[in-house]
Amino acid sequence: MEMEDRPITITGAVCPVPVQHRDKVILGHGSGGKLMHDLIEKTFLPQLDNPILRASNDASVFDLSNASRIAMSTDSHVVSPLFFPGGDIGRLAVCGTVNDIAMMGAKPVYLTAGFIIEEGLDLPVLDMILTSMKVAADEADVRIIAGDTKVVQKGKADGLYINTSGIGIVYDGVRVGGEFAQPGDIVILSGTIGDHGIAVLQARGDLGFEAEIESDVAPLNHVIDKIVQYASWRNSATGLHVFRDPTRGGLATSLNEIARQSRTCISIDENLLVTNPTVSAACEILGLDPVYIANEGKFIAIVDPSLADGILELLQDDPLGRNARVIGEVKKEPAGRVLMKTSIGSTRVLDIPSGELLPRIC
């Protein structure tokens, strides 16, 4: 089915404009002239408006004098298709960068957004994606304070690519990173695995069957904030060692990165992983392993054992952590390896896949 023939939805909202009346992005919208100013004034600003963005200078200027350490990250989004169950490229672009900043124990504050638009993209589609970015930015309580749009000829991009960058303020007393995992630490996973990747495959029609699975794409900064507040209240912020969101490459890849960075062994138990039955079924049919499938609303927390129970309880009380579990622990040897006790009781080395399993998933 052609994209234009089917209704386009963002979490339930159907694009209200009939195909024949949809205005399209044309090359002139990227020209720097009147058309581009119209596009920015009529399409971008109404959605993303805030005083810093509206100043419309060459760069945005802001004050972070209350911050001693800053986290910064950037991420480009090329997901295909642009809309998938549970989200779209706009929500993904905001959450991706918000989450990467949050994973450094930082409170995300400002984002920038760069749009590479293919000539011919329906303007109402762009508008829906911007609405979705605004909703996600509001959820995360961040503002988009600088942006850029470029239009390329038909066939030179696939509808729309979005790059977002962001900065955040690192919480006082918190120093987290893959290198800080240490033997004895507890490994917590905030929920089910594989939902995002399988939702995108479903949207592509690659599953071969109808499934009810939604992407988990969500901003994780508020739940990270709760964990930091809890650890600080316990006078134990130094007991927080690693946060990481297992996006591309899934849980297995993220754990391998951490094991290598910290020169430890991470040992997990497959029986403790929670997988949506639809994801399990899809993986079985396609010959995929959910530990390698992308997530966009989950994170791994590696913490001192004294904090584990409190964090688990706090997570399970939060809608984004309902299915949180302790999935394993950090050991000394074999350093740089991830071991998984399988459902049949054997132990296997969980490796990093050699290539991209599922291209253009984020």
Considering only 195, 245, 270, 329, the residue that binds Mg ion (CB under 5 A) is 245
Instruction: Please state, in angstroms and rounded to a whole number, the distance separating the CA atoms of residues 124 and 144.
Output: 20
Decide whether 100 or 214 has the Cβ nearer to Mg ion: 100
Q: How far is the CB of 193 from Mg ion (least distance, A)?
A: 15
Block residue for tokens 């946060």: 243
Q: How far is the CB of 111 from Mg ion (least distance, A)?
A: 15
Decide whether 131 or 254 has the Cβ nearer to Mg ion: 254
Q: Does 75 engage in binding with Mg ion (CB under 5 A)?
A: no
Q: How far is the CB of 248 from Mg ion (least distance, A)?
A: 9
Q: How far is the CB of 244 from Mg ion (least distance, A)?
A: 6
Q: How far is the CB of 297 from Mg ion (least distance, A)?
A: 12
CA dihedral 114, 197, 200, 157 (to 10 degrees): 40
Instruction: Please state, in angstroms and rounded to a whole number, the distance separating the CA atoms of residues 145 and 308.
Output: 37
H or E segment and range at residue 145: strand 143-152
Decide whether 245 or 329 has the Cβ nearer to Mg ion: 245
Whether omega before 334 lies within 30 degrees of 0, making that bond cis, reads: yes
Instruction: Please state, in angstroms and rounded to a whole number, the distance separating the CA atoms of residues 221 and 86.
Output: 19
Instruction: Please state, in angstroms and rounded to a whole number, the distance separating the CA atoms of residues 199 and 212.
Output: 8
CA–CA distances in Å: residue 253 to residues 52, 243, 256, 260: 38, 14, 5, 11
Q: Which stretch in 132-140, 150-158, 245-253, 295-303 sits in contact with Mg ion by CB under 5 A? A: 245-253
* Per-residue x/- track, 6-25, Mg ion (CB under 5 A): --------------------
Q: How far is the CB of 166 from Mg ion (least distance, A)?
A: 12
Binding-residue total with Mg ion (CB under 5 A): 2
Task: Report yes or no: 200 and 83 within 8 Å, Cβ to Cβ.
Answer: no
Q: Which stretch in 59-67, 196-204, 242-250, 290-298 sits in contact with Mg ion by CB under 5 A? A: 242-250
Decide whether 216 or 245 has the Cβ nearer to Mg ion: 245
Instruction: Please state, in angstroms and rounded to a whole number, the distance separating the CA atoms of residues 142 and 109.
Output: 5
H or E segment and range at residue 193: none
Instruction: Please state, in angstroms and rounded to a whole number, the distance separating the CA atoms of residues 87 and 106.
Output: 24
Q: How far is the CB of 4 from Mg ion (least distance, A)?
A: 34
* Per-residue x/- track, 165-204, Mg ion (CB under 5 A): ----------------------------------------
Q: Which stretch in 35-43, 243-251, 285-293, 303-311 sits in contact with Mg ion by CB under 5 A? A: 243-251
Decide whether 211 or 293 has the Cβ nearer to Mg ion: 293
H or E segment and range at residue 51: helix 51-54
Q: Which stretch in 51-59, 187-195, 213-221, 241-249 sits in contact with Mg ion by CB under 5 A? A: 241-249
Q: Hey, which residues between 92 and 131 contact Mg ion (CB under 5 A)?
A: 100
Q: How far is the CB of 336 from Mg ion (least distance, A)?
A: 20
* Per-residue x/- track, 219-238, Mg ion (CB under 5 A): --------------------
CA–CA distances in Å: residue 308 to residues 185, 257, 314: 9, 21, 10
H or E segment and range at residue 268: strand 265-269
First to last CA, the chain: 22
Task: Report yes or no: 60 and 190 within 8 Å, Cβ to Cβ.
Answer: no
Decide whether 44 or 299 has the Cβ nearer to Mg ion: 299
Task: Report yes or no: 331 and 258 within 8 Å, Cβ to Cβ.
Answer: no
What is the widest separation between alpha-carbon atoms in the chain?
66
Q: How far is the CB of 36 from Mg ion (least distance, A)?
A: 33
Decide whether 100 or 195 has the Cβ nearer to Mg ion: 100
Decide whether 43 or 256 has the Cβ nearer to Mg ion: 256
Q: How far is the CB of 294 from Mg ion (least distance, A)?
A: 11
Residues in touch with Mg ion (CB under 5 A)? 100, 245
